[in-house]
Structures are given as structure tokens and as C-alpha cells.
Chains A and B, each alone.
Chain A
């Protein structure tokens, strides 16, 4: 035994999964967890102060509140589509290499070239789709719209580049998906410290842009031209545990990232005209929300298109089965990248593509003449033979038809005929699902000679079916396609053209077109219609009319919606069969009423013109109620039997789709062709009861689900709900509050309930109805067929540029004015000018438009701005395809790749649609008076016509001098004539009144607001319709045009500043009217009497004195003389005295000054001596005193010594 010990394999320890031991250990563990914090030092976890506790608590609550988002209902069920991982970065940073490394990590496959999306299965629950973001701005914008996760590659050795920030800004506007930074080229650093510093720096810059703690990955270097395995592995881990938030735009719009693209135009047409519109198919996973058949789509860079057909294809990259196991098996590590040229078999709706590389098969190149040469090559295997046979078929129809016995895919036979149907009528397409089933049935039933049969008929009606033949020919020649340098063959199988189908469809068309049937033959015609309508292909439909007679009742849905709704009037095609049985056929009242109305009308009313009336008055039909009638409805009243009424409600709940028919007697499963007998009523009741039980169980299940959902919502702990798990950490903080049912929890609960109900209801339906009701589910792989696509799309298709197909919502294909809150990006260098074109990305679309900027005034007026504000938001109004409010917009002005500046011009968000653009700008009308009455004046030049005057009646005006006034009316002609004798009276002269009389030299202003027209211009960016390297050129800005054509900036001379030359103003003298003068008081009266020419009388007269007078006069003169003499003397004396006094004062002054000078001198000397410690020469000392002042300060403390020195001196 001991010998064998070495190679004995020890059984590893297995912990108990159940039983007593397990329970014990669990109990123990629980205890541990429960008082984990208590067990150790409890004081360590207590709060030291209440204030701190409060602060912490409030912080926690705040954080919790910030975490909350309005819960969004997730309507997608089923498997999620692969998550799109966009790898973005400036050129030469290692994007392709990263994708290659990741693909290698996940699938162990080497990818030669990264072209188009690459789908891989990354885990049991998760698939990923890697896309490399193109390097132009258009590609970046599109990539931002479909990315679920963006890996931003940054060249560590270089630092951040503009592209990264541009992309981040675009991402932010389009809903900000998850972002992770990846630093590459780190092996270029030789210095470890420098590397560390750089990492730190870049990380913090990255954080400021996104949020603190955003993940930045480091790929330290390359080994054998690949990233390090460990690092790629880590990155893959991060990707695979990432949670994705729903983004509001995407959850409300279906979209497809195209991973395969085919041109299926018939080669003949292409050969005829290379530039003919093409028919293309686009393949991809449906994301966002469900896609309905009628939905229109926008192909980014191409335009809006309606989908000619949508087909559900099997998932090319399915998730592994949900068996319990740890990892993925190698077989399940699937990988799907048709654009990259991997995988050799492609399954289409109607064909299988076999991809054979050219070096494997030489015979694919050879033609008929040297086929023998190919034959003598290697031994033919089966595949080769098959391919060869396929090659042969393309030359003639007959050959092909003979080959038709090769039947590999039996259920895919009817497709080509369907393609023909497509071209003719879309309504067939609508019912395609039904048709598929039925036709395949038929094909199985048809004996093999049916084909030859149809062939002969085809030859007989040669003229009739020539088109068909051509179409068939088209179909055959399509076999080989050259695509992306790769030869592809389409395996088309011989018998898929069914002449029967064609004929049927033709007949049907005819039947639809001639519906001018007289009312007499209404019945037969209708039944005929019905036959054609339903039974164009299959035999069983021939008996439909008979069946209708046999009281067969079609389902209500059919009755309501009819089979074909191609004719938009939705012509009624009810069967007439039911009308005779009123007793239980109560449901078919409507039909009957149509009939009644017709009868009432008396004449042959087309029912397209029935009266529009919601009330169906039946007063005529109202019968007198008998006692038994009352008894019938007694239970509908509260006075009746409550239990019965309750039953009524319950039973009805129980009714599920396929049960009702039984009550109506026989019904036949039309597709299966089986016939069921109706049950007896009593057994039916029993069944109902049973059904009721079933229902109860169902209800219980639903409730349980809802409860669980509620639980999940409250304690975010259930692993099943992904979103919940993400905020588990946050929730722990406020567990205490979450326990009370807050508003938020209630919301969540409601949403969960609603979701469960939806799922339950959906599961109730069968597949076909479900598709009709719900549309194609998200996560399914679809093939979209689009017709009439410009040939450029095919011509310039570039797999490096992923195609985005986005669904258009209701009313989103309409064009109109949008108002957006707009802000110029702070890194964009220039402000934007009103009406300069910018390129806008909103929703799925990119287009060029000309916005008018505005700002809201205090009073709610939107005033136009010529330029965007420097650092503020403003409003932008522009014309374009409408995007719903709250849609983010990013604007760029320049698509050029080589420019070094930041290309994102502005960001915005749509506020509203507004057809009436309400932007105004100031306008100033200038006029001059042409005639002035008292306070009224006629103003010319302000308006150009009387009509214009009428428009402005009552408007306030003002003169330059500040006199206010009002526009009254257009001036009458007679006044004009009066004013202008000679020239013809001009139009547009307004009579205005002012508060004072104005002058002829006054200028009159009218200030008003005028509506600004927003140009109705938008230009979709058709970047997919031109070579990718070419820059899209749209409308140019004014500045660009000026530069191109070398035009000068127009200058308004009036706006230039120049020297103002004012003439000196000449005022007329003031004239006071006489009446006024008289009224004035004397003091105010003007007293300037005019100078006379002649002297006055007093001056002129001669004076003759008598003697006495003469004496008096002489005496007066003498006295005056004496007095004058006296005054003169006194004056002289005073002068002398003053001089003396002056002299004395001057002497004194001199003395005083002298003394003062002496004193001062003494004082200074003293001061100077104090300052000097050492006795030096006087001159030197003075010099030094000026230069070395700081020294004196520092030496100030030795005053005493200096003094001593001076005293000794």
C-alpha cells in the first residue's frame, strides 16, 4: 500500500452541498456575517460626534439621490443583440491590432484584416460585436450612435489627440454609452519614472473629461507584434462584465448595424445601365426596439428608404445552449465576420453562398471552352461537382428547369416568385408569413410533373409571361457576384421558379384592379375576390366560397383587417355566409349594418363614402323588452346574482385565443387542412372550468413573478436582474430607507409589473400574430431588402465604414423648423454666424442646415443674434427633418480630416418644433418731414407705399431731437398737391402727429421688430455615396465663398466712423409777438430801443443860459476843480507814505530771513554731527550721507558714541 502511495490520486475535498453539515456551516457563517462589525472593536465604528454623524448621513443620502434615475421600462425580451464595442482612436494607435488581439483571445482565430463588424460569442450570455471606428468625423458620428461600449485608444507616448476628445463629445451628445480608455505605445518610454508620471497625467486628464475613476487601461507593449496576452485577457474580462445602460434614443428606435451587405440587382440591368438604381440587402442584428414591417429607415450617409422586405434569418452566431457548465466549449466560440472574409458558408433568405478562395478553386475562373482542362485537375469532390452543376445552370432556363430535381432546401422554393410579388404589390409582402407556410404545403403536395406542366403553359402564353421569363433569367444570372475582390457563388436551386405562382399573382392583380363591380353581382364578386385574394397559390382556397356557404366563420381579425389591404380604402370583404344565422352569429353585425345602410340609402352608395358617425343608433331596432329579456340581464346589475357576474368576468379572462372557435361549431385549421368537430356545450363548460383553473395557475404565476420583481427592486440582490446588480453597492448605503416603499420603489415596481404583464400577454400569442402585433424582436438577425438605392452606395461601399440603419419614428420623416438650445463648443475657436451653414447630427441623421441664432429677451421675445454668444447658450432655429424634443445634436462645420483644430463646433438639444418661426430683429425706418403743419407733419421716405403706411398706423415714432409722435394715416392727395406744387405726389407719405412742432431739418425714426425668415434649407450628408477619402462638400459659408472668389468684405459707408464736421448753427433772433409783449410786465419787456439815424430832439436843440445860470454853472465848475485838486494831492501823499512803509517792511523782512537762515544752519549742523560717529571731512561726510543712508539706519544703535565724538571735537 505504501508503495502505491505516490501515484495514488487523492480525491479532492468537496464541501457539503446539503444536509446537516451544510446547515451548520451556513448558520455559523450567517452569524459571522451578522455581527461582523460588532465582533471587533465596536467603538471603532461608532460616531465620535453627532455633527459628524449627521454630515456623513446627509452625504450618504445625497449620493444616493444622485444615483437615482427615472426607471425606464425595458421592453426587449429574448436574447439581447451582441453588444457593439467600438474601438476608436487616432490613426496608427493600434486599433486593428487590439481588435485582432481580442478576437484571438476569444476565438483563437487569427484575423487577417479588420473589416466591418466582427461578431463573437464571448460568454454564455453574451455576444460582442467589434467595430473599428473610421478616422473621419462622419464615421465617428455614426459610430457614436451605435456604440454600446467605446474603447478609446490613446497613444501614451504622444498623449491625447484631438480625435479622442472629439469622439467623446460626440458620444456625450448621442447618449453617452460606456467608455473605457486604453493607453498604448507605452513601450516607447525608457524611463520608468517618466512612464509613471505620464500615466498619472493622462489618467487625470481622462477623468476630468468623463468622471473620476473612469477606467483607463494600459497596454504596456508588443510581443511578436501582438499585445501582451495577460493584458488582453484583463481587458476582455472588463468588457465581459460591463453593464450597459439603456439610452433613451436607442430604446425608442430600432436600428441595425449592418454586418453584411449585398447588391442583388439583376446583373442584366446593371449591364444595361451601370448607374441604375440598385436593390440591396442589408443584414444585421436588430437593436433598440422592435421593428415593424411598415417602418421606414434611414441609412446613415445614404438617406431615407422604405423597406421592401424584412426577413428573419437564423442567428449566424447563436448563444450556446443554456446547459450548466462553467465556460464555453471550443465549438461554441463562434465567430461571424462576413465583411472580413471569414467563414465559408453564408445562409441567406433564399440562397446559400459558398465562399471559396480563388487559390483553392481554379475552375471557378474557367469558362465553357476550357472546362475539360479543369476536369483533369484534381479529383472532383462532391462540392466541386455541385458548384459545377450550378455553373452550368446559368446559361439557359430549360437546363435549369431540368435540373430542378435537385432539391436540397425544400421550404425555400417560393422565394423568387415572392421577389416578383414584391415588385408588384407590397400587400402580398404583408402576408408573407402566412404565404410561406401555405405555399410550402402546396409545394409538397404538387406532384413532380407539375413543373413541366407549368413550363408548357408558360410556353403557350409566351406573350403573357415574357416578363416573368425575363425575371427568371435575371434570377439565374445572379449566380456569381464579385464582391470585395472575392468570388462568391450563389447556390440557386433549379425549381424555385414556380410558374403557377406567377400566374396566380397576375390573376390576383387583375382581380384587384377591376373592382368596379355592380352591386347586383355583389355576392359572387366578393366571393371571387376573396378567392383570388387568399387563394392565389394554393388549391385549398378554391373551396373557400363553398366553405363560406357552409357557415364557416373566419376569425375576427381576418374579418376586421381583411386579407389584403393594398387598396387603401380597405374595401370590406366580409363573407356573406354568416348573415343568415343571427342566433349565434351576433358578431357579424357590422357587416349587416353596412348592408342596412346601403338599403337605407336607397341608392347604390359606395361604402367608401359612408357617413362618418360614431353613434350606432338602433332606436329603430329597439324592441320592447319582455320579462324574459329583463331576466337575461338581471345579473348585470348589482341587484342580481353577484356570483354569476363574477364568473362572467373570470371566465372571460380564461379565454385564450384558440378556444373560442369551438363554440361556434366546426372550425378548420386552414393551414393544416384538418377539420375539428365542435364540442358539445356541456363538455365545453367543463373544459371552460378547467381552463379557468389553468388561468388561476397562470395568474398565480404572474403574481409570483411580479412579487419577485418587487423583491428585486427593493433588495437589489437578485442575480437575474442585471440592472439591479449594478447599483447594489449604492443601495447598501441606504438600505434603511429603501425598506419603506418610496416613490422610486413604487415606480420600479409598477414598471416591473407592466413588463411581466407584457411578457405574459405576448407569450399568449402564436408566432404569426406575434410578429404582426409586435414586429421583429430585438436581438434577431434580420435581412432588410431595400430597393431604389443609388448605385453609388454599391460602387463606393467600403467595409471599413460600417453602415448604420436606423428606424424612423412616427412623424420623424417630416421636415420642419426645430428650435434647439445651442452652445458653441468652448474649444471651437470662432463664434458662429447666423445663416452660415453647419453640419448637424441629430437622431440617426446628419445634414447640413442654416441656423438662425436667437436669444430670449426678458419679455419672451426671441431676438435674432448675428453671432453666437461667446460663452452662453442661445437658441438656434433651423429647418430639417424633425427630431423629437430632447434629442441631442452635435454640430460640425468642417469635415476635413487634416485640420489640426477641434472640429466639434457646437452642441445643442432640441427644445420644440415650431412651424411659425418667431425670431425677430430690430428695424429702424427713417423718414424726413416734407411738410409741417402745427404739430402734424407729413413724413416721406419712411414708407414705400400707402399700404405700408396702413400697416404701421398707430406706430410710435420719434425725431432725433426727442419729440415723440405717432403715425396716423397715409397722407391725402390734396394735401400732397398743396404741399408739392409741381412734381407728382409720391406714394407712402404718412401723416404723423407729434407732441411738439418738428423742424424740417429733423429726422424721424420708427423703431420696430421684424420677423426673421429662417431659410428652408437642409442638405443630407450623402457620404456613403461618394468615395470615402473624398470630403463631402456642401453649401459653403459666406467667408469661404469670399475667400474662394476673392471678394472683398462689403463695406457700408454709412457705418464707417469719420470725423464729424458740424457747421456753426445760425439762430434767428427771438421775436416776441406783440400781443405777448403787451401782456408782459415791464421788467420782462424787451427794452432795446433801436438806434436812430437822426439824433433825438433833446440832443439836437440849442441851450441858451441866463446870467444867473451861468454863474451857478461857473461856481459848480470851480468847486469841482477844487475838489479834484484836493483829491489829487491826497493821493500823492498816500503814495509816498506807502512807499516808505514798503521799504521799512522789506528791511525787516531781510533781517528776519537772515536770522532764520542762521538758525537753520545751526540746527542742521547739529543734526549732521549727531549722525556721524567718526569725525571726517565735512565734504566727504555730506557725500556719504546721501549714498549710504541704509548704513546709517543699521548703525543707529551707537548714537551715544557719536555724540561723544562730536563733543570732543
Chain B
């Protein structure tokens, strides 16, 4: 046997994906130079928290971090899954940050996973919990994930800075995924959405809905946006409001955008920086902007929105050795990073061909043929 060699990586970019791919492909990795030159060097809170989460759901994995937390050594174990697990995600990133890798990992576990995640359910950086419910789980179903036992339950909302939200994720396991040929994006037949308000007046929601509907009504009559006003302990610890919109097409694709507005933490830098200096965005503008953003996503085309590109590519790569064919809009930065990570860990490249007529990109690949190795043979 050759002595165990570690794959050496640099920097903390696409940290989650690397760990997920390392776990699934059974590669040991060393990540070096994690934020060496920055004011706060090393791994951040949420990254450490993610490592803790990994340790929780895996068996026999080994994590070693140096003193300054600029170097990480990770030896993957076996994804165990299991019931009645709980994890506190902290407040530096939202639950969406943890859910994204967890969805993929849990599929290849020994047992079905049921985990309670605490933290921020909605913020502007990561896809919100509502988006996961409305869109992401549907993407998984496309790849042959059984819908029984696939659920994300929202117990309470939580927005930055203090969080206090709680969700329960249950994921089934699969033997292997099935390859997809998913290029028909269809036409948008309905738009659905959820607004939420926590520790603020429910009137905020109505103004958001009103402004968003005003835009969609020019294109489509079938628009329903639901409200979800939370009060008391269910509303978490900080005030905030937000909206998540989903466009469903005739071919069963879901395209979503979401955002949330709340007071920010001091160190957080987001796309709202400029606006927030003036103050929080008024709900009308939030509704409007989100609606425009959804239209933009629709305009881009593709079977998923830009947020879900990475997940889509990852799932395609984990399929059996058949051709998968998918269509996305512009390749997002995250999508490209995903493609690179996949080629690095699974030695698998996509054929990427632009479709100039529609300004979309068609990707094809042969799956890596990953099977759920941790599943027990009965």
C-alpha cells in the first residue's frame, strides 16, 4: 500500500465543496494558506462550525487545524447520518451555508439523516430556508432522490445579527443517483413566493407583496405570494423581513431568488453595503428588486437559477457513468468553481457548449459512478 498522500490545496475558496468532494471521493486533503494575509487570519467561525458539523455526521473523520487556523488537514470518514442530531450553526453565516453541502453529503450516508440546525434562517448572503423548501429539494428529486423522508421543516425564523432560527432537515439515502437529461427549461407558468417578517409589523409583508405583484402582473396572472408572519419565540432574536420568490415552469423547473433585510453585524460585508449605510431598504424596494432579480434569472434561462448551478453540477458529477445533459444560464462564479473542484477531485470534466441562440450554456458529463459505499448490505 502506498503511504497515504494528501491532496494539497490552497486558500479557503469553495471550502465547503472541497470538503464535500473530499468526503465523497475519500481523498484526504490539506488546505494551506487560509487567509494568511488578512486581518483575521485562519478559518472563520462558520467554517469551523462546518467542520464540527462534518464530524457530527461522519464517523472516523479526522480534522487537524494548526494554531493560527491557517492550515487544515482533513481525512474523511464515512457519512453516518442518523436521527436526533442537532447543530448550532452560529450567527456568522446562515443555515443555508450549511444546508448546501449537507444535502449532498447526507444522500451518501449510512442511514437517513435527521438534523436540527439552529442559527440564521434568512439572510442576504446565502439561499434562504424557503428557497431550499421551494426549489432545492425539487432539484434533488430530479436526480432520483426519493421524496419520502426528504423534508425541511421550519421551526422558527432567525435573521442576523442574533439568529435564533431553527430548522429540521431530514434526508433519505440513495444507492446511487440517476443521470438526467434536463435541457427543457419550459415556460414560466406560475410564480409563488413567501414573505416573512419577524419581530416587525406584518404590514411590511403586504407592501413587499404589493410591489412585487405589480411587476409580475404585467407578465403573468398566476402569482401567489404567501405571508409568514412570526411573533414571539418563533420569530427569533432579531427583527427582519424578507421575500423569496419561485417561478415554476411548464417543464417543472424552479427558478428562485430570495433576500432578507435586517440589521447587519459589524463585520459582515454584503451586496447591500452601500444601501445599508443609508439604512435598511424599505419593503417596497425589496419587493421590487427581488421581482426584478427573478425576472433577470428567468431571462438568463437554464433549468436552474444561478444559485443552484453548483449543486446541479455536483449532482451530475455524482451520477452513475451515464451522460447527463443540463442547460444553465450564464455560468456563475460559484458554478465555475464547482466545475473546477469536480475536475480536481473526481477527475471529471464537463463538455461545456454555449447555446448562442438562447444565451444559455449546455453542459454534458459522464458521471463519476459514485455509489453509496457506506450503505449497509442487508
Q: Mark A623-637, 1 if CB is under 8 A from B, else 0.
A: 111000110111111
Most buried by B among A560, A622, A765: A560
Q: Quote the shortest CB–CB distance from B362 to chain A (angstroms).
A: 7
Chain A residues numbered 569-593 whose CB sits less than 8 Å from any CB in chain B:
569-570, 586-587, 589-590, 593
CA distance A75 to B367 in the complex (A): 12
Cβ-based interface call for A561 (8 A): yes
Cross-chain contact A916 with B7 (CB below 8 angstroms): no
| Among candidates A556, A609, A620, A810, residue contacting B354 with C-beta atoms closer than 8 Å | A556
Chain B hits for A774, CB < 8 A: 366
Q: Which 4 pairs, one residue from A and one from B, show the smallest C-beta to C-beta distance?
A: A608-B11, A915-B60, A811-B26, A663-B356
Q: Mark A295-328, 1 if CB is under 8 A from B, else 0.
A: 1000000011110000000000000000000000
Chain B residues numbered 30-79 whose CB sits less than 8 Å from any CB in chain A:
33-35, 37-38, 47, 59-60, 76-78
Cross-chain contact A606 with B37 (CB below 8 angstroms): yes
| Among candidates B59, B259, B343, residue contacting A916 with C-beta atoms closer than 8 Å | B59
CA distance A809 to B340 in the complex (A): 20
Cross-chain contact A639 with B219 (CB below 8 angstroms): yes
Cβ-based interface call for A58 (8 A): no
Chain B residues numbered 331-378 whose CB sits less than 8 Å from any CB in chain A:
331-336, 339-341, 343-344, 346-347, 349-362, 364-366, 368-371, 373-377
Cβ-based interface call for B327 (8 A): yes
Cross-chain contact B349 with A590 (CB below 8 angstroms): no
Chain B residues numbered 169-195 whose CB sits less than 8 Å from any CB in chain A:
179, 181, 183-189
Cross-chain contact A636 with B187 (CB below 8 angstroms): yes
CA distance A594 to B349 in the complex (A): 22
Cβ-based interface call for B13 (8 A): yes
Cβ-based interface call for B166 (8 A): no
Q: Mark B1-34, 1 if CB is under 8 A from A, else 0.
A: 1101001111111111100000011100000011
With A304-B2, A305-B2: A625-B126 Cβ-Cβ less than 8 Å: no
CA distance A1005 to B187 in the complex (A): 75
Cross-chain contact A304 with B310 (CB below 8 angstroms): no
CA distance A655 to B325 in the complex (A): 13
Cross-chain contact A568 with B344 (CB below 8 angstroms): yes
Cross-chain contact A569 with B9 (CB below 8 angstroms): yes
| Among candidates B8, B59, B334, B377, residue contacting A910 with C-beta atoms closer than 8 Å | B377
Segment at the interface with A among B154-162, B205-213, B295-303: B295-303
Cross-chain contact A915 with B333 (CB below 8 angstroms): no
| Among candidates B77, B298, B375, residue contacting A633 with C-beta atoms closer than 8 Å | B298
| Among candidates A614, A622, A651, residue contacting B334 with C-beta atoms closer than 8 Å | A614
30 CB < 8 A contacts A-B: A289-B321, A304-B2, A556-B354, A562-B340, A586-B330, A589-B333, A609-B12, A610-B13, A612-B16, A613-B125, A614-B126, A614-B127, A615-B307, A638-B220, A639-B221, A649-B185, A652-B327, A660-B356, A754-B322, A757-B323, A762-B323, A773-B364, A773-B366, A810-B346, A810-B370, A810-B373, A811-B26, A816-B60, A882-B26, A913-B78
CA distance A911 to B110 in the complex (A): 12
| Among candidates B189, B292, B333, B341, residue contacting A622 with C-beta atoms closer than 8 Å | B292
Cβ-based interface call for B148 (8 A): no
Chain B hits for A648, CB < 8 A: 357-358
Q: Quote the shortest CB–CB distance from B50 to chain A (angstroms).
A: 9
Cβ-based interface call for B139 (8 A): no
Cross-chain contact B295 with A625 (CB below 8 angstroms): yes
Cβ-based interface call for B215 (8 A): yes
Cross-chain contact B340 with A915 (CB below 8 angstroms): no
Q: Quote the shortest CB–CB distance from B205 to chain A (angstroms).
A: 19
Q: Quote the shortest CB–CB distance from A983 to chain B (angstroms).
A: 46
| Among candidates B1, B349, B374, residue contacting A1020 with C-beta atoms closer than 8 Å | B1
Chain B residues numbered 117-140 whose CB sits less than 8 Å from any CB in chain A:
124-127
Cβ-based interface call for A909 (8 A): yes
Cross-chain contact A561 with B187 (CB below 8 angstroms): no
Cβ-based interface call for B202 (8 A): no
Most buried by B among A73, A617, A620: A617
Q: Quote the shortest CB–CB distance from A23 to chain B (angstroms).
A: 44
Chain A contact residues (Cβ within 8 angstroms of B): what range?
A: 35 or more
Cross-chain contact A655 with B375 (CB below 8 angstroms): no
Cβ-based interface call for B234 (8 A): no
Chain B hits for A1117, CB < 8 A: none
Instruction: Report the nearest B residue to A653, measured CB to CB.
Output: B183
Cross-chain contact B349 with A773 (CB below 8 angstroms): yes
Cross-chain contact A568 with B347 (CB below 8 angstroms): no
| Among candidates B78, B321, B331, B354, residue contacting A660 with C-beta atoms closer than 8 Å | B354
Most buried by B among A614, A633, A912: A614
Chain A hits for B25, CB < 8 A: 810-811
Cβ-based interface call for A945 (8 A): no
Cross-chain contact B219 with A660 (CB below 8 angstroms): no
Cross-chain contact B333 with A652 (CB below 8 angstroms): no
Chain A residues numbered 215-249 whose CB sits less than 8 Å from any CB in chain B:
none
Q: Quote the shortest CB–CB distance from A812 to chain B (angstroms).
A: 8
Cβ-based interface call for A395 (8 A): no
Chain B hits for A813, CB < 8 A: 1-2, 26
Cβ-based interface call for B306 (8 A): yes
Instruction: Report the nearest A residue to B11, measured CB to CB.
Output: A608
Chain A hits for B13, CB < 8 A: 569, 607-610, 612
Cross-chain contact A638 with B188 (CB below 8 angstroms): yes
Q: Quote the shortest CB–CB distance from A639 to chain B (angstroms).
A: 6
CA distance A618 to B78 in the complex (A): 38
Show the binding face of B for A, using Cβ within 8 Å: 1-2, 4, 7-17, 24-26, 33-35, 37-38, 47, 59-60, 76-78, 96-97, 100, 110, 124-127, 179, 181, 183-189, 215, 218-221, 250, 259, 269-272, 274, 289-290, 292-293, 295-296, 298-299, 301, 306-308, 310-311, 321-323, 325, 327, 330-336, 339-341, 343-344, 346-347, 349-362, 364-366, 368-371, 373-377
Chain A hits for B2, CB < 8 A: 303-306, 813
Show the binding face of A for B, using Cβ within 8 Å: 73, 75, 252, 289-290, 292-295, 303-306, 555-557, 560-562, 565, 567-570, 586-587, 589-590, 593-594, 597, 600, 606-610, 612-620, 622-625, 629-630, 632-640, 642, 645, 648-649, 651-653, 655-657, 660, 663-664, 688, 754, 757-758, 761-762, 765, 769, 772-774, 809-816, 881-882, 884-886, 909-916, 1018, 1020
Chain B hits for A882, CB < 8 A: 26, 373
Q: Quote the shortest CB–CB distance from A753 to chain B (angstroms).
A: 10
Chain A hits for B14, CB < 8 A: 612
Cross-chain contact B9 with A568 (CB below 8 angstroms): yes
Chain B hits for A772, CB < 8 A: 349
Instruction: Report the nearest A residue to B359, measured CB to CB.
Output: A586
Chain A hits for B10, CB < 8 A: 567-569, 608
Cross-chain contact A758 with B59 (CB below 8 angstroms): no
Q: Quote the shortest CB–CB distance from B212 to chain A (angstroms).
A: 13
Q: Quote the shortest CB–CB distance from A826 to chain B (angstroms).
A: 23
Cross-chain contact B272 with A619 (CB below 8 angstroms): yes
Cross-chain contact B220 with A589 (CB below 8 angstroms): no
Q: Quote the shortest CB–CB distance from A933 to chain B (angstroms).
A: 42
Cross-chain contact B26 with A810 (CB below 8 angstroms): yes
Given contact pairs A590-B335, A590-B336, A810-B24, enumerate 17 new A-B contacts (beta carbons under 8 Å): A252-B369, A555-B352, A556-B361, A560-B331, A589-B331, A590-B330, A620-B274, A633-B219, A754-B322, A757-B322, A757-B323, A813-B1, A814-B76, A815-B4, A911-B377, A914-B78, A1018-B1
Chain A hits for B375, CB < 8 A: 885, 912
Cross-chain contact A655 with B362 (CB below 8 angstroms): yes
Chain A hits for B187, CB < 8 A: 635-638, 640, 642, 645
Chain A hits for B188, CB < 8 A: 636-638
Q: Quote the shortest CB–CB distance from B365 to chain A (angstroms).
A: 7
CA distance A757 to B319 in the complex (A): 15
CA distance A748 to B218 in the complex (A): 48
Q: Quote the shortest CB–CB distance from A637 to chain B (angstroms).
A: 5
Instruction: Report the nearest B residue to A812, measured CB to CB.
Output: B26
Chain B hits for A614, CB < 8 A: 100, 126-127, 307-308, 310-311, 334
CA distance A772 to B299 in the complex (A): 32
Cross-chain contact A761 with B218 (CB below 8 angstroms): no
